[in-house]
């Protein structure tokens, strides 16, 4: 079933992937940067206009027409780390080079498919039910933000899939640590004196349908280290090497994982769970996770270090008395470059037609128009309405059912977890909200866009899956199947309706206008 869901995701992402044959939105930065990195090792500047086929034209038009070698010798000032652009560069290498627009977008499309697979498996591990897992995979496969960001050569899809891979590894670590604690408790309880839980805890356990726990005055095993956690840190280090927003995900994921370890220790029956689980476990985890995270991030910049003409590589030589003087020159230049990037990111307030308040992202109030073009002829569906203006559009707008229902389910899920006197899985659902969305609340005056919310998409779907799983347990199999097919059927119909304006299909203007349900979508 996972593979069937992946096939659907692949079709929706690769069908007409070379369209539009134009540099779309921020592809002007990332695709051209990736192409120069593939050819020279670092990002290069480009002229605004070039002479191509005997005509003076904008460089983006020439690039889209296949004339792709007009970069300049000077290194470009870029404000995002290089890892995401290397992913795009590898797609260019494997799928035919920059003359083929499909190659610009191949790696983001592959990342989108992998993301659907990872979410399906993570949902199955969380809820242990295949129908809920398949529902989650299908919803993510069909969502508009996921589709558009998987068909445009931008960076955000890579953060999403790397964070989702890290999240799945954290779930694997949790399950392995829980099994290790249970085996150790069974062994230790035979060697030490154990006592039953206090009466009030026994009554609560009975009310929740759980057996009364034994308490054991023993430290139990150390579960801070696992190879799954190592993989988690590496993936989050790579995510931060795509965009710095990966740092928030690293912080939130680590805190939640350490809390899970401590709570598992308590649930298994070890009495000193806070001191030995949270404090000691947290310190031991940080001892190797933080340095490994930092090292991975540094390795993302390896080509900057190895190319002497990279941007600001020799800044320290021309500024001998500035910066962190205690560092070697190359690292001093590296730190100065990062200070410049930090200033850019924290002060960016340039006006933009599609600027969107981060608090509105979950409701898709102000989606981003990546591409909109009037066509002179009437190809495709436009032939059915020859009297209407023909247009092609790429609008980064989520499936309204998924995003609006997901926002509601996130609130309902918290209420359910509280009513159940706690559920560790609610933190799995909230992890993406806490690490991928809430930190943006500190940048309400900064220029941000709704398409950044693709990082939140998997957890929006997980919120739906959480509530759906509770419904499944509360109703009959027939009722559950009716709910399942209704949700998938309506979501599919809405996605089918919006798919043309997600993928630049030629459509009559009135058809495009019929999709603008809110005035803020135009």
What is the structure's pLDDT at 187? 83
In our burial notation (b when 16+ CB lie closer than 10 A, e otherwise), range 324-335 reads: eeeeeebebbbe
> Is residue 465 a contact partner of residue 426, using CB atoms and an 8 Å limit?
no
Instruction: Please determine, for residue 373, whether its predicted confidence score (pLDDT) is greater than 60.
Output: yes
Model confidence at 196: pLDDT above 50: no
* CA 471/CA 486 separation, integer angstroms: 14
pLDDT for position 199: 42
Task: Tell me what the mean pLDDT of segment 380-404 comes to.
Answer: 95
Q: What is the model's pLDDT at position 2? A: 96
Residue 382 DSSP code: G
Residue 206 has pLDDT above 60, yes or no: no
153-165 pLDDT, tens digit per residue, is 999 999 999 999 9
Average pLDDT of the residues in 381-394 = 94
Nearest of 119, 112, 108 to residue 2 by alpha carbon: 119
Answer whether residue 209 shows pLDDT above 90. no
Residue 312: pLDDT band with limits 50, 70, 90: very high
Structure tokens at 73: 């010798």
Mean pLDDT within 481-507: 97
2-12 average pLDDT score: 97
264-284: pLDDT as tens digits: 988 888 877 888 888 888 999
Quick check: 198 pLDDT over 90?
A: no
Q: What percent of the chain has pLDDT over 70?
A: 95
Question: In this model, does residue 218 exceed pLDDT 80?
Answer: no
pLDDT at res. 213? 58
Cα–Cα distances in Å, from 62 out to 35, 67, 98, 439, 464?
A: 14, 5, 11, 39, 45
When pLDDT is cut at 50, 70 and 90, the band that residue 207 belongs to is low
- Calculate mean pLDDT across residues 136-156: 98
Task: Output the pLDDT for position 200.
Answer: 41
Q: For the chain, what is the mean pLDDT?
A: 93
Q: What is the mean pLDDT of residues 451-467?
A: 97
- Alpha-carbon separation of residue 198 from 90, 185, 215 (angstroms): 59, 19, 9
Helix (H) or strand (E) holding 203: helix 199-207
What is the pLDDT averaged over residues 110-124? 98
Residues of the chain above pLDDT 90, percent: 83
pTM: 0.94
Q: Indicate if the alpha-carbon torsion angle 229, 230, 235, 239 is positive or negative.
A: positive
Q: Both tokens of residue 184? A: 């150790």
Residue range 94-105: average pLDDT? 95
Whole-number pLDDT of residue 204: 55
pLDDT, position 444:
86
Q: What is the 8-class DSSP label of residue 361?
A: G
Predicted pLDDT of residue 272: 76
Tell me what pLDDT residue 214 has: 61
Mean pLDDT of 309-329: 93
Tokens 């300049």 -> residue: 72
């Amino acid at each position: 079933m996972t593979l069937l869901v992946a096939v659907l995701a692949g079709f929706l992402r690769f069908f007409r992937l070379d369209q539009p044959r134009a540099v779309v939105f921020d592809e002007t930065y990332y695709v051209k940067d990736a192409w120069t990195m593939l050819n020279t090792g670092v990002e290069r500047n480009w002229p605004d206009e070039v002479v191509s086929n005997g005509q003076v034209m904008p460089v983006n038009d020439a690039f889209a027409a296949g004339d792709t070698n007009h970069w300049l010798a000077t290194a470009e000032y870029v404000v995002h780390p290089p890892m995401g652009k290397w992913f795009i560069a590898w797609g260019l290498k494997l799928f035919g080079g920059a003359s083929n627009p499909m190659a610009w977008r191949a790696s983001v499309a592959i990342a989108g498919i992998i993301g659907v697979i990872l979410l399906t498996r993570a949902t199955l591990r969380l809820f242990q039910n295949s129908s809920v897992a398949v529902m989650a995979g299908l919803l993510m496969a069909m969502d508009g933000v996921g589709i558009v960001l998987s068909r445009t050569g931008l960076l955000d899809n890579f953060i999403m899939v790397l964070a989702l891979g890290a999240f799945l590894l954290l779930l694997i670590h949790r399950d392995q640590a829980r099994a290790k604690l249970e085996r150790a408790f069974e062994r230790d309880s035979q060697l030490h004196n154990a006592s039953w839980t206090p009466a009030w805890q026994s009554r609560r356990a009975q009310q929740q349908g759980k057996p009364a726990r034994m308490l054991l005055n023993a430290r139990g095993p150390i579960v801070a280290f696992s190879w799954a956690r190592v993989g988690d840190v590496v993936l989050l280090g790579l995510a931060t090497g795509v965009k710095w927003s990966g740092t928030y995900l690293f912080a939130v994921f680590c805190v939640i994982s350490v809390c899970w370890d401590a709570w598992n220790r308590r649930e298994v029956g070890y009495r000193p769970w806070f001191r030995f689980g949270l404090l000691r476990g947290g310190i031991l985890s940080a001892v190797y996770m933080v340095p490994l995270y930092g090292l991975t991030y540094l390795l993302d910049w390896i080509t900057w270090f190895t190319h002497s003409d990279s941007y600001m590589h020799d800044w320290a030589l021309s500024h001998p008395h500035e910066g962190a003087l205690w560092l070697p020159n190359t690292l001093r230049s590296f730190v100065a470059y990062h200070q410049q990037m930090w200033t850019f990111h924290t002060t960016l307030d340039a006006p933009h037609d599609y600027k969107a308040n981060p608090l509105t992202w979950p409701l898709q109030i102000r989606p981003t128009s990546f591409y909109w073009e009037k066509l002179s002829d009437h190809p495709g569906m436009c032939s059915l309405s020859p009297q209407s203006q023909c247009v092609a559009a790429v609008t980064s707008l989520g499936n309204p059912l998924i995003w609006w229902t997901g926002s509601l389910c996130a609130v309902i899920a918290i209420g359910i977890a509280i009513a159940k006197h706690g559920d560790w899985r609610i933190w799995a659902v909230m992890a993406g909200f806490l690490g991928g969305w809430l930190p943006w609340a500190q940048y309400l005056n900064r220029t941000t866009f709704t398409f950044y919310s693709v990082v939140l998409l998997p957890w929006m779907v997980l919120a739906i899956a959480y509530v759906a799983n509770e419904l499944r347990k509360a109703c009959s199999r027939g009722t559950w199947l009716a709910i399942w097919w209704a949700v998938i059927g309506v979501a599919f119909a809405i996605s089918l309706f919006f798919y043309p304006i997600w993928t630049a299909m030629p459509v009559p203007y009135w058809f495009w206008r019929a999709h603008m349900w809110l005035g803020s979508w135009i």
